[in-house]
Amino acid sequence: MVVLLYNVRYKSKEVKQMRLCELTAHELRNMLRKKEISAREILDDTCCQIESMEGRINAYITLTKEKAYEDAERVDKAIRKGEELPDLAGIPMAIKDNICTHDVATTCASKMLEDYIPPYSAEVYERLLRAGSVMLGKTNMDEFAMGSSTENSYMKITSNPWDTDKVPGGSSGGSAAAVAAGEACFALGSDTGGSIRQPAALCGVVGMKPTYGRVSRYGLVAFASSLDQVGPITKDVEDCALVMNCIAGHDPKDSTSLNVPAEDYRSALVNNIKGFKIGIPSEYFGKGIDSRVRDIVLEQVKVLEELGAHVEEMSLPHSRYALPVYHLIASAEASSNLSRFDGIRYGYRGAENDDLESLYIMNRSRGFGTEVKRRILLGTYVLSSGYYEEYYMKALKVRTLIKRDFTRAFEKYDVLIAPSVPAAAFNIGEKFKDPLSMYMSDICTVPVNIAGNTAISVPCGKLGGMPIGMQIIGKPMGEKRIIQAAFTLEKNTSFKGLAR
Amino acid sequence: MRYESVIGLEVHAELLTKTKMFCSCSNKFGGEVNTRCCPVCLGLPGALPVLNAKAVEYAVKVGLATNSQISRFSRMDRKNYFYPDLPKGYQISQYGLPLCSGGYLEVEAEDGMRKVRIKRIHIEEDAGKLIHADTEAGYSLVDYNRAGVPLVEIVSEPDIRTPEEAGLYLQKLKSILEYLEVSDCRMQEGSLRCDANLSVRIAGSTVLGTKTEIKNMNSIKAMEKALEYEFKRQTELIDNGGKVLQETRRWDASKGITVAMRSKELAHDYRYFPEPDIVPVVLDMNRIEKIKGEVPELPYEKEQRFINEHGLPAYDASVLTSSKSLGEFFEKCLREYDNPKTVSNWVMGELLRILKNRGLEPENISFPASYLAELLKLVEDSTISITAAKQVFESMFDSGKEPRVIIREMGLEQISNEAAISEIVRKVISENGKSVEDYKAGKGKALRYLVGQAMKASEGRGNPQVINRLIREMINKK
Amino acid sequence: MGKGVIKKEVEYVSALARLEFSEVEKEEYASALVNMLEYVKLLNELDVEGVEAAYHVMPVMNVMREDVEKPSMGREMVLDNGPDTQDGCFKVPKVIE
């Protein structure tokens, strides 16, 4: 296959020769509108990239190239007819495999759902289709989104495009790796305790967890209902705003969806941080955080300070309780959410069994992987009679305290800045046998889910050749603020996102 | 020793909403198996529930009609357990904060009014249906049409003392639900279900005995029988030195006994917790007042009004208000024929008799109440006899035609014309000389016989009063 | 928590969750559970007396839908993912009531 190179004005300065699969959505969008390229050409080059990379990266569980070509053809037809193009027309995307896609297998990377083909689509997926985006396939993840390395997948192990011996992070590891490797222009992930931001940071791309309720959860296979949010993983901040414009907004099918007016996130793409009050929560820079990560993040904070932001150290005193609270709440909800997988209406079914109880036990014991079963046990335990108050109730109360920390902080600050990850990507297999140390990978991200706030992870440097991310946290519905801060950082640093 | 039973009832009623509790699938009874399902009520991965506002409103109405407190703040909870008819592996119900609580109903017990307190009223979703096609087969089939149908559960305190009181309580509750038009309350079809808790103790004691839970009672009568049986079983058990086990028992109507259900090996540990997919329900005073305004006149209110306004005996009032349609029929009829006691007699007598014979409910009456009013007017002005009117009334159930039309078709107009009747009377007198002599000799019976003969000769259409008078006149003239 | 106790607990909750483990697995899951329960003890440092529980993280209330019917899915679609179906229904081992 011939690889075509295009002249692109990169970051409005230098002109570079680049492949289409390396370009951002907003760049492709402009070129399509100027008729410099076709949707088919974008797709060709991205498929070519998948062919050359996928053998090493293993980002996808299912590829839907055929359908993608049909969709791209439809976009090209619209271009030929001179029709007005929707926002993401012809832009190739990847969807995490826990987001339901009508007629396309949605496995949650579990043996339980290996053959499951949903008869309906998630709201986010439908919105992206309406926006003209072209789906390339469904990405690998930790089984039912439980994990931080994508190693808990029943299907395959995904590699970090920066170093294939390393994990891409998780649970949306397939989505982050696909974007970082140019195997998709952008992707959707889901974030329950950091599952978008953490892999985005480890793969050197941008990932956003929207405010709880900002993006519909309808059709996202639930892990922990009160913490889950769908969000974009993109090559840069502008793309993040572009995708958010398409997926955010009220959905009457999700009772927890916020019924507030839509916002134009692109209007926040302003390279200016003058007067911003930035809080630096000291708890996120101490114990458990690699000091080199801390230094890199603080160095970038200095860039923002030099651009006119007011930076101040502050405290979120209950931060250290976030991880235990998270595990109690998430496991409790998960134990109930995963009860529907009994192998009767759908899902893995073991051999013929003439006893109902044995059938349940066989289907569930064989259909779920180790980590999933660990969490179901913990969740069942903390909800069971006699322990509810001691564990679950207590966690809900501490959740109030953690939320209060954030509420107070945002009375004073526009955004808070912390690392997205405590360390750079670790080796595949390194933490697999030690759940607790794996859980620690989420300490920077978990508190935001507990409070329901929004946060974005943007690449902010490298450690030993591996990318790390800065996390910019906003108040509920504060997406525009953090996009502006992230955009300013991106425009004023030399760090170039993608793995080459 | 004299024992008394301590009974509490848990009543489930399917709500008459158009759609299910959490999705927009039809909430009609029946339908081809698995055709009223969607991702939400099938519990497909990723699907989310959205509460039906009507279901909440209906449950609040039930609360208001049963003197309950309406919670300003309530929420849904998950009740976790595995069963093939339960698609999500949990039932969305209410545990900690139900919609209503602290209500009561009064029923007429043997020893005066009995106040049965209502502990709580909450909403929850129904489960699907298991079909055991073939008793020999080693499998069951699952139909999810009923999964997600909205239910209201009404839990009484153990304030009921006899099976009859339980029957009265259930009857009263049922008629309230019907009056509110929130449930069609068909026990046979399962749209109204009742489970009972029963324990026994020495009469007058305040300690509670060990209770059993009784299920599968498909009518009020069945429930009374089941409770009678269970009371007898428990007392005999205790008298013989045995102990009542806390268990769930199933009423076997064909054998007339309760049977212990196979107890599950696992303890019931439902792991209730607040449903994170549904936000709290907050009802402010305005909203509650608005719903209150929509609560129609309730059976016990209507009963009182029938006594006061229409001067009916208490018995009549209670029968006429036992069904909403019956009460409405009565009052509509009254609007055009203002003689409450006569109308009441007809409704309670002829109407209920015909309905019972034909296995019909008051809702099934096929003609307007104004037809009965018209019929009664025709009786009053002697157009037809009472006997004929009864014939016409029965015929209205078949044809649904107006009484005048039926009377004409059947030729039932009463003959009051003296000339026509004189003709008949003359003939009867001439043909029954013996009876005429008897009458003259002072035998009253003979007159009745002669009137009967004349009625017969007129094919029942002669006005009996006129006949009576003419016979006497003619014999005396002789 | 003693080892014997926790193993019993694992047996109890795995029965509730309809999961089954070999003896070796049981040990592993028990130790993972113990580790987590130890870890979450961190919360005992806090006095939460009088603190309200955060059931929902956003102040959203009264989200309800109008009682308006929409078409259902169609039986074929309903049964499509069913591992074992018969006569338009999902088939399960006999349920004794």
pLDDT at res. B265:
47
Please tell me the predicted confidence (pLDDT) of residue B360: 83
CB nearest to B82's CB, from A254, A339, A354:
A339
Residue A87: per-residue pLDDT: 95
Burial class, B435, CB count within 10 angstroms (exposed 0-12 / middle 13-18 / buried 19+) = buried
Q: A224 contacts in B (CB within 8 Å)?
A: 276
> Position A284: which residue type?
Y
Cβ–Cβ below 8 Å for B47 and A221: no
Nearest CB among C29, C48, C90 relative to A345 is that of: C90
Distance from CA of B86 to the nearest CA of A (A): 9
The secondary structure of A270-329 as a DSSP string is -S--TT-EEEEEGGGGSTTS-HHHHHHHHHHHHHHHHTT-EEEEE--TTGGGHHHHHHHH
Residues A259 and A213: beta-carbon distance below 8 Å: no
Structure-derived torsion over alpha carbons of residues A476, A478, A482, A483, reported in degrees to the nearest 10: 130
For residue B140, the chain C residues in CB contact (below 8 A) are 91-95
Q: Are B83 and C97 in contact (CB under 8 A)?
A: no
Contacts of B271 in chain A (CB under 8 A): 335-336, 380, 383-385, 388
pLDDT in tens, chain C (97 residues): 666 778 899 999 999 999 999 999 999 999 999 999 999 999 999 999 999 999 999 999 999 999 999 999 999 999 999 999 999 999 999 887 6
Per-residue pLDDT band for A10 (boundaries 50, 70, 90) equals: low
Q: C33: nearest CA in chain A?
A: A378
Q: What is the mean predicted confidence (pLDDT) over A127-151?
A: 98
Taking one residue from A and the other from C, the number of pairs with CB-CB distance under 8 angstroms is: 156
**Mutation target among B23, B34, B58, B90 for the C interface, most CBs of C within 10 A:** B34
Question: Using one digit for the tens of pLDDT, what is the confidence trace for A67-109?
Answer: 999 999 999 999 999 999 999 999 999 999 999 999 999 999 9
* pLDDT value at A63 more than 60: yes
pLDDT at A1 over 90: no
- Is A500's pLDDT higher than 50? no
CB contact under 8 A, B45 and A255: no
Residue in A38, A159, A171, A172 annotated catalytic: A171
- Mean pLDDT rounded to a whole number for chain A: 95
CB of C68 less than 8 A from some CB of A: no
CA gap A379, A383 in Å, rounded: 6
Q: How far is C5 from chain B (nearest CA, A)?
A: 18
pLDDT in tens, A278-300: 999 999 999 899 999 999 999 99
Is A455 within 8 Å of A415 (Cβ atoms)? no
Query: If we measure between CA atoms, which residue out of A468, A496, A493 comes closest to residue A292?
Result: A468
Q: Nearest CB to B50: which of A253, A338, A356?
A: A253
A34 is catalytic: no
**Options A110, A195, A216, A441, the catalytic residue:** A195
CA distances from A98 to A223, A314, A423 (A): 9, 37, 27
Answer yes or no: A148 catalytic.
no
pLDDT higher at B407 or A186:
A186
A339 interfaces chain B, CB cutoff of 8 Å: yes
More confident residue, A429 or B467: A429
Task: Give Cα B284 to chain centroid, integer Å.
Answer: 33
Please name the residues in contact with B158: beta carbons below 8 A apart, sequence gap of 6 or more: B6, B7, B8, B197, B199, B208, B211
Q: For residue B82, which residues of chain A lie inside 8 Å, CB to CB?
A: 339, 342, 360
Nearest chain A residue to B272 by CA: give it: A383
How does residue A58 score in pLDDT terms, banded at 50, 70 and 90? very high
Q: Which residues between 88 and 147 in chain A have a beta carbon less than 8 angstroms from any beta carbon of chain B?
A: 98-100, 106, 108, 113, 116, 118-120, 122
Q: Judge if the upstream peptide bond of residue A255 is cis by omega within 30 degrees of 0.
A: no
pLDDT at A499 over 60: no
Q: Are B61 and B68 in contact (CB under 8 A)?
A: no
Phi, psi of B376 (to 5 degrees): -70, -35
What pLDDT was estimated at residue B27? 96
Q: Compare CB distances from C68 to B19, B38, B262 and report the shortest one's residue.
A: B19
Task: Tell me whether residue A394 is exposed, middle or buried, using C-beta atoms within 10 angstroms of its C-beta: 0 to 12, 13 to 18, 19 or more.
Answer: buried
CA distance B217 to chain C (A): 15
Q: Does C24 touch chain A (CB under 8 A)?
A: no
A96 catalytic residue (yes or no): yes
Locate the chain C residue with the closest alpha carbon to A373.
C19
Q: How many helices (H) and strands (E) does chain A have?
A: 15, 13
Give dist(CA A497, CA A460) in Å, integer: 9
Could you tell me the pTM of the whole model? 0.90
Strand-pair partners of C85: C90
The chains found to touch A (3+ Cβ pairs under 8 angstroms) are B, C
**Contact C69/B53, CB-based, under 8 Å?**
no
Number of neighbours of residue B89 by Cβ within 10 angstroms: 23
C65 touches chain B (CB under 8 A): yes
Q: Is C79 on the interface with B (CB under 8 A)?
A: yes
Nearest to B138 among A217, A354, A388 (CB): A354
Dihedral of alpha carbons B462, B463, B467, B473, sign: negative
Does C63 contact A at CB distance below 8 Å?
Answer: yes
C-alpha separations of A12 from A16, A22, A88, A205, A438 in Å: 11, 16, 21, 20, 40
- With an 8 Å Cβ cutoff, are C83 and A368 in contact? no
Q: Residue A345 is nearest to which of C20, C54, C82, comparing CB atoms? A: C82
pLDDT of residue A9: 59
Low-confidence ranges of chain B (pLDDT < 50): 265
- Could you give the angle at which helices A237-247 and A123-130 cross, rounded to 10 degrees? 110
* pLDDT given for residue A3 in this prediction: 61
Question: Is the CA virtual torsion C89, C90, C96, C97 positive or negative?
Answer: negative
Rounded to whole angstroms, the Cα distance separating B346 from B332 reads: 14
By C-alpha distance, the chain C residue nearest A397 is C53
